[in-house]
Amino acid sequence: MTGQNAEPKTTAGHQSLGLLSLAALGVVYGDIGTSPLYVMKTVFDPIHGLAVNEENVIGIISLIFWALMIVVSLKYITLILRADINGEGGIMALLSLASSSVENRPHLRNTLFLIGAFGAALFYGDGVITPAISVLSAVEGLEVATPLLKPYVLPATLTILIALFLIQQRGTGGIGAMFGPITLVWFSTLGLAGLANIGDAPQILAALNPSHAFAFCLNNGWLAFVAFGAVVLAITGGEALYADMGHFGAKPIRLAWYVCVLPALTLNYLGQGALLLSNPLAISNPFYLLFPAWALYPAVGLATVATVIASQAVISGVFSVTKQAVQLGFLPRMQIKHTSDRKIGQIYIPFVNWTLLAAVVMAVLGFGSSSSLASAYGLAVTGTMVIETLLTFFVLRYAWSYPWILCVVATGFFLTIDTIFFAATTLKLAQGGWFPLAIGVVIFTVMFTWRRGRQILVAHLRSEAIPLQPFLESLIANPPARVAGTSVFLTADPNGVPHALLHNLAHNQVLHERVVFLTVVYMETPRVPANQRIAVKPLINDCYQITVRYGFKDQPNLPYALEMCEPYGLVFEPLKTSYFLSRDIVVPSPGAGMALWRERLFATMARNASSAAEYFKLPANRVLELGARVEI
């Protein structure tokens, strides 16, 4: 994007495959790349009762390797990366693809919206836990260097996290260019550190044989099921590669995975396994004990930087999902700042940033260690994975028209694995799993209260609206005074008379020489092509109806959209165009609709929603806002 009014352009195609793959390392794989910091320590946590012996270590490493192969390589890399809309991915794109494929089945469509929105809500829980556990696990390396530094672990973690959230408002474009190279160094370090230790116990290579994973499950029964709840931490972040597909394209993401990420993770987990076989006491922190004493402090520093990068990717993801949810009608308008004129994906949402920081600080102080936070981690991620697999079935069956039996077998296989992981993480519900789940439930409640409230409000306004065409015809019979310029009335109902127009006529008793009724429609697609952005319909008496379409990843900019009306003979001069907005003051009332507490919540959100003028980039000195009380 070269300027404020430019249309978005896809980065893929403008850079080489190698550069895009390098960039993808820093954004897509930061989360999964920091998992080796805490996975093995969590699996063999004494609270789980799993002994550190050869059979168990080889079995766990085998489970981790095949989880990476099946869930990440097969499910996401091979299958789900194909489910894109114009190159865009993520749960919102998958939801859009699945719901549009069952458009003629309204009940099923609404159910899919419900499921998909809950998956998006769970992402917020992940957005809290990931920065907390990643940075805390990295800084805990100081304890390995010397126990004297243990009292400084929490303060140092909080300082890093607070600094990370403080810089969001300034944008991360400047340092973002370094994310890829730094993460490449991190993955290289992971691979080399693991490789250096495999020679101490080469029998760990047997873990590449899946029979050891099966044997571990058969021999350990319930303990193996409990271990699944920790093994899943090795694949957290795997879902991010689909969410970020629109930034880099599928090919760079696949290349980065097979050439760099998968080999590095495999070598590191094998190295940790070999270390435990040769020294079971290293379970206190098997990641940092891979390094010789002289390399420990550099390793802590590099790990801290890597976890900050991983946290940045998650924070940016939360901003992106929030923006998409706003434009799909699941959340009220919020103040969204664009921190770069050149890169469309770099946005900053103040309310979300500070709320997220507060939740992350509470998580760090409340849980106190990465081991405790690991109990809270995984539930939100596995829940999202289950939902994405369910949505994939409808894409395969109804959007791509694959045979029924193939769809059931393919998604059933992945759903079985996802469900096992999800069930295992529910065992941690009392130990902390409730925390991200509670965040997800709260966000989901807010989402559907807003969505349902908007439906009730729009239905109420439409029931009382005056039909537009007869109203305009009546103005011809008794025309008011016409004044120079253009008035643009924003309205959600293109067939009804906007309240702002009625108020303007009642108070000012004038009508502009040209009147435009403007309706913004958000499509269930990431982006709307420029040639489909607007539709113009001439009405009578020099009045026009204009529809502006946006996708859920587009940047709304109504003045720029109106410039595109010139081929239709409509020229909007900025100093002669006035924008009229209606602001409905919602008054909760007992009766039909929602529960009273939900109506009050909706009214509060409506009252605190950011200004439509700011959201749509309208010039502040050309906007008139008129309010009306509406009971729901």
SS (H, E, C) 192-251: HHHHHHHCCCHHHHHHHCHHHHHHHHHHHCHHHHHHHHHHHHHCCCCCHHHHCHHHHCHH
Among candidate residues 9, 189, 7, 98, the one with its CA nearest the CA of residue 389: 98
Mean pLDDT over 591-596 rounds to: 80
Q: Is 175 exposed, middle or buried (0-12, 13-18, 19+ CB in 10 A)?
A: middle
CA distance 447 to 457: 15
* Residue 246, pLDDT above cutoff 70: yes
Q: State which H helix or E strand residue 583 sits in.
A: strand 577-587
Question: Picking from 101-115, 137-151, 261-275, 514-528, which range would have the lowest pLDDT averaged per residue?
Answer: 137-151
Give helix then strand counts, H and E, for the chain: 27, 8
The answer on 386 and 515 residing in a single domain is no
Who has greater pLDDT, 472 or 477?
A: 472
Which of 513, 512, 496, 493 lies closest to 504, judged by CA? 512
Q: Are residues 187 and 326 in the same domain?
A: yes
Kindly state whether residue 6 falls inside one of the protein's structural domains: no
Task: Report d(CA 233, CA 236) in Å as an integer.
Answer: 5
Instruction: Please tell me whether residues 73 and 158 are part of one structural domain.
Output: yes
Give the residue-averaged pLDDT of 460-475: 85
For the residues 332-344, what does the mean pLDDT come to?
Answer: 73
Domain boundary among 426, 443, 476: 426
- Whether residues 204 and 303 share a domain: the answer is yes
Three-class SS state of 628: strand
Quick: pLDDT tens for 526-582: 888 988 999 999 998 889 999 999 988 888 999 999 999 999 889 999 899 999 988
Q: Which of 488, 503, 496, 499 is nearest to 472 (CA)?
A: 496
Picking from 426, 445, 479, the residue at the C-terminal end of a domain is 426
- Kindly tell me if the per-residue pLDDT of 13 is higher than 80: no
> If phi over 0 gives left and psi between -120 and 50 gives alpha, with beta otherwise, what is residue 401?
left
Residues 169, 229, single domain; the answer is yes
pLDDT tens, residue by residue, 192-214: 999 999 999 999 999 999 999 99
Q: Is residue 453 part of a domain?
A: no
Of 370, 401, 426, the residue that ends a domain is 426
Query: pTM for this structure?
Result: 0.83
**pLDDT, average across residues 441-457:** 92
What is the per-residue pLDDT for 320? 83
Q: Name which of 44, 342, 306, 331 is nearest 173 in CA terms.
A: 342
Whether residue 404 sits in one domain with residue 322? yes
Counting Cα atoms < 13 Å in the Cβ hemisphere of 364 gives: 26
Residue 436 within any structural domain of the chain: no
CB 28 within 8 A of CB 312: no
Amino acid symbol at 56: N
Q: Are strands 577-587 and 623-631 parallel, antiparallel or unpaired?
A: parallel
Q: Is residue 106 predicted with pLDDT exceeding 90?
A: no
Evaluate if residue 4 carries a pLDDT over 80.
no
Asked if residue 171 is part of any domain, the answer here is yes
CA 107 to CA 295: how far, in whole Å? 59
**What's the per-residue H, E or C state across 478-509?**
CCCEEEEEEEEEECCCCCECCHHHHHHHHHHC
Contacts of 173 (CB under 8 A, 6+ apart): 339, 340, 342, 343, 346
* 479 and 405 both lie in a single domain: no
Contact 248, 343 (CB under 8 A): no
Residue 442 counted as domain residue? no
Q: Give the residue numbers spanning the domain of 98.
A: 17-426
Could you tell me if 170 and 261 lie in one domain? yes
* Residue 414 to residue 424: CA distance in whole angstroms: 15
**Best-predicted range by mean pLDDT among 367-371, 384-388, 552-556?**
384-388
DSSP assignment of 83-107 equals --BTTB-SHHHHHHHHHHHTTT-HH
Segment 342-362 mean pLDDT: 84
Residue 56 domain flag: yes
Is residue 373, in this structure, part of any structural domain at all? yes
In the three-class reduction of DSSP (H, G, I as helix; E, B as strand; rest coil), residue 585 is classed as strand
404 plus 534 within the same structural domain:
no
- Predicted confidence (pLDDT) at residue 340 exceeds the cutoff of 70: no
pLDDT at 352: 93
Across residues 135-143, what is the average pLDDT? 88
**DSSP-H helix ranges across 348-433:** 350-367, 370-376, 379-394, 404-426
Residues 522 and 420 in one domain: no
Give CA–CA dist 62/204, Å, rounded: 9
Strand 337-338 with 347-348, pairing? antiparallel
- Which residues, 6+ apart, have CB-to-CB distance to 520 below 8 Å? 490, 547, 548, 549, 550, 556, 558, 616
The residue that leads in pLDDT, 29 or 7, is 29
67 and 171 inside one domain: yes
Sign of the CA dihedral 316, 318, 321, 322? negative
Mean pLDDT of the chain: 88
Confirm whether 9 is domain-assigned. no
Nearest-angstrom CA–CA distance, 601 and 452: 12
Distance CA 547, CA 542 (A): 17
Rounded distance between C-alpha atoms, residue 365 and residue 438, angstroms? 17
State the total domains in the chain.
2
Higher pLDDT pick, 430 / 12: 430
Highest mean predicted confidence (pLDDT) among 220-224, 426-430, 479-483: 220-224
pLDDT over 80 (residue 9)? no
**522 and 421 within one domain:** no
pLDDT at residue number 343: 54
Q: State yes or no: pLDDT of 119 exceeds 60.
A: yes
Confidence of residue 44 (pLDDT cuts 50, 70, 90): very high
Q: What is the CATH number of the domain that holds 358?
A: 1.20.1740
- For residues 87 and 13, the answer to whether their CB atoms sit within 8 Å is no
Of 312, 308, 326, residue with least CA distance to 171: 312
CB 302 within 8 Å of CB 189: yes
Burial degree of 458 (CB within 10 A; 0-12, 13-18, 19+): middle
> Which backbone phi and psi does 281 adopt, to 5 degrees?
-70, -15
